[in-house]
Structure formats: structure tokens, C-alpha cells
């Protein structure tokens, strides 16, 4: 009988999950720069925009007339993140703008899978990437925009 009680207690202890830890929000920190010229090199991309969308939007964007198009949803978004066309709105879940040090910081991000888009202010380009934010994690990313891929139809690779 004593073994049975210990077994039940052990099962109870190991079957309880730490729900609070799995719900703890994370954060995203993106350092953004762009290539200025051969003499100066890279500069902080002050004012660059970071948009975080639900992960089901991945692989659904392309570039059209210097605007980002969400092809699957038919939404046209300008460089400032303003919706300028389309049938309905799909706002970003989170967004930020790079400060004087080229850092965009987003706090209180719910753990999960996301699709991040970084739109350069210093260059006419953008970059996309799938990310996963873990509970309590500060996800640190760096994006350096070059000049050779500035006008590619699908943006610049990460």
C-alpha cells in the first residue's frame, strides 16, 4: 500500500507541467544596418521597420513597385506598414522601429512560431525569415542589408 501511495505521488509530481513558465512572454531584438559605400561601410539603419506576423504568412510575399505584397491574402503594404490596397486588413501582431543604434526591440511576445519582415530605411529592400520565440527568450537577430540585392523581386535573403 505504501508503494502505491508513493507511486501515485510520483506520477502526480511528474505529470504536472509548469504552465506559468510555458506562457512567459519572450522578446525579439533585431540589429539592422545597411551598406552605405566602400569608404564608410555599414551604417545603422535608423528608422527601419520590423513587422512580426503569424507564421502561416511565410513564403507568401513578393515585391511589386517598391511595395510588399502579401500575395496569398491580396494585401498591399507600403514601407511604413500602412495597408494601401487589398480586400481586407491583416495587421502585424507586433512591430517596431529601429532606434539610433539600429536596434528594434519588441517585448511581451507570446511564445510561438512567427514570420518576421524587416524593411530597410536606408535601402529599397526588405528581408523575411521564419522565427520561433521560446518562453522567456530574448531572441537576438542581426540583419545587414547590402546593395547588390537591393532590387530583387523577392527581397534580400536573411
Give Dmax (Cα) for the chain. Answer: 80
Q: In total, how many domains does the chain have?
A: 1
What CATH code is carried by the domain that includes residue 74? 2.60.40.10
- The whole-angstrom separation of Cα 85 and Cα 75 is 6
Does 151 reside within a domain? no
**pTM confidence score:** 0.70
Per-residue pLDDT of 49-70, as tens digits, reads: 888 888 765 444 433 433 444 4
Residue 137: HSE in the Cβ half-sphere, 13 Å Cα cutoff: 14
Does 7 reside within a domain? no
Does 10 reside within a domain? no
User: Domain of 49?
Assistant: 24-145
- The whole-angstrom separation of Cα 155 and Cα 158 is 9
Does 8 reside within a domain? no
Written as tens digits, the pLDDT of the chain (158 aa) is 666 565 566 565 555 555 555 689 999 999 999 999 999 999 999 999 888 888 765 444 433 433 444 433 344 555 555 545 544 445 678 989 999 999 999 999 999 999 888 888 888 887 888 899 999 999 999 999 988 877 765 667 88
**Position of cell 544596418?**
33
Does 28 reside within a domain? yes
Does 65 reside within a domain? yes
Does 87 reside within a domain? yes
Does 15 reside within a domain? no
- The whole-angstrom separation of Cα 135 and Cα 28 is 12
Locate 17 and state its grid cell: 507541467
Amino acid at each position: 500500500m505504501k508503494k502505491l501511495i508513493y507511486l501515485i505521488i510520483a506520477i502526480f509530481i511528474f505529470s504536472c507541467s509548469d504552465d506559468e513558465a510555458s506562457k512567459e512572454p519572450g522578446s525579439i531584438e533585431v540589429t539592422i544596418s545597411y551598406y552605405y559605400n566602400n569608404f564608410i561601410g555599414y551604417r545603422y539603419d535608423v528608422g527601419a521597420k520590423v513587422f512580426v506576423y503569424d507564421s502561416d504568412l511565410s513564403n507568401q510575399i513578393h515585391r511589386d513597385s517598391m511595395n510588399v505584397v502579401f500575395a496569398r491574402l491580396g494585401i498591399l503594404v507600403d514601407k511604413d506598414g500602412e495597408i494601401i490596397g487589398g480586400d481586407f486588413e491583416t495587421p502585424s501582431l507586433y512591430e517596431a522601429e529601429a532606434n539610433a543604434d539600429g536596434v528594434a526591440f519588441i517585448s511581451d511576445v507570446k511564445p510561438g512560431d512567427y514570420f518576421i519582415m524587416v524593411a530597410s530605411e536606408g535601402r529599397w529592400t526588405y528581408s523575411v525569415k521564419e522565427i520561433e520565440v521560446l518562453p522567456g527568450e530574448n531572441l537576438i537577430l542581426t540583419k545587414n542589408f547590402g546593395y547588390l540585392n537591393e532590387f530583387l523581386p523577392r527581397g534580400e535573403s536573411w
